[in-house]
Amino acid sequence: MNARRAARPLRQRLSAAAKGAVFLSCVALSLNARAQPAEATAPATPAITEPNGSRYKPGLWVAAQQQKADAMKGACDLIFIGDSITFAWDGGLWKKHLAPRRALNYGIPGDNVQNVLVRLDYPGLKAIQPRVAVILIGTNNGGPAAETAAGILAVVNKTRALFPSAKIILMDLLPTARRTALVTAVNELIQGYADNETVFRLNLGERMIRNGDSWVGLGPDKLHLSSAGYAIWDEMLAPLLIKFIGPLPEAPVAL
């Protein structure tokens, strides 16, 4: 056997060795490819600062809000931007203290920051140019805190670009038994966005006293505001509205 092998031409031996090396190399490449994570084909997660309106069905919510903005016909001094907490403003307080200020409720239930970024692109908003914009958003974003805070900043910046002369009142996220640690962490980050020149902080949590596993001012779901909670918001907001817009217009005397 050894003699025959030794007698084989050198070229044949090198050719056989080369084929073996190619085979082993192909096996190694195949194994290496299997070991690599499939990042190239996995769908990318949209950044929190990227507008995303995929949750909206045609004609639902968004169209109604756009119609409300158009109905203002430019006569708007105050806009509220947010989710269901904004959408569900107490009707009596709104009619008494906010409607006279030509206020627009631009909240949609279930919205997160990506959804609001989409709605702020509506061209009709440029016509209203409110003097004050109140922002409360981020509760429906699941975190981490730094990501949610970055999304809130994107909403603030987009609002500033849309309404360059408006004062922005940035609300702290409301206390909730569902995500206490996350809310606290987000609020610690976003309070730095207030410069007290263009952006002003308003924290209802300062008046919402802990009550068992919930807070005074929250409803049974321990997330949304009760009538008492909207009263706190109304009272804390009033001084800022007087400062930026002026005294509440007096209701016309009925004859």
pLDDT digits (tens, 9 = 90+) for 33-79: 333 333 333 334 458 999 998 888 876 789 999 999 999 998 999 99
- Sequence ranges of the domains in the chain: 2-35, 62-244
pLDDT, residue 5, reads: 42
Specify the range with the lowest mean pLDDT, choosing from 50-64, 150-164, 187-201: 50-64
Residues whose CB falls within 8 Å of the CB of residue 165, separated by 6 or more in sequence, listed in order: 129, 131
pLDDT surpasses 90 at 188: yes
User: What CA–CA distances, in Å, run from 118 to 62, 114, 123, 126, 191?
Assistant: 10, 7, 11, 14, 24
Q: pLDDT tier at 157 (50, 70, 90 boundaries)?
A: very high
Percent of the chain at pLDDT exceeding 90 = 63
Q: pLDDT tier at 141 (50, 70, 90 boundaries)?
A: very high
pLDDT, residue 93, reads: 96
Write phi, then psi, for 215 (nearest 5 degrees).
-135, 145
Q: Rounded to an integer, what distance in angstroms lies between the CA atom of residue 248 and that of residue 9?
A: 104
- CATH T-level assignment (fold) for domain 62-244: Rossmann fold (3.40.50)
**Closest among 245, 234, 248, 168 to 204, alpha carbons compared:** 234
CB neighbour class for 208 (10 Å; exposed up to 12, middle 13-18, buried from 19): buried
pLDDT surpasses 70 at 30: no
Q: If you average pLDDT over every residue of the chain, what do you get?
A: 83
Q: Rounded to an integer, what distance in angstroms lies between the CA atom of residue 203 and that of residue 170?
A: 9
Give strand pairing partners of 103. 78
0.85 cut: is pTM over it?
Answer: no
Most confident of 36-45, 143-152, 245-254: 143-152
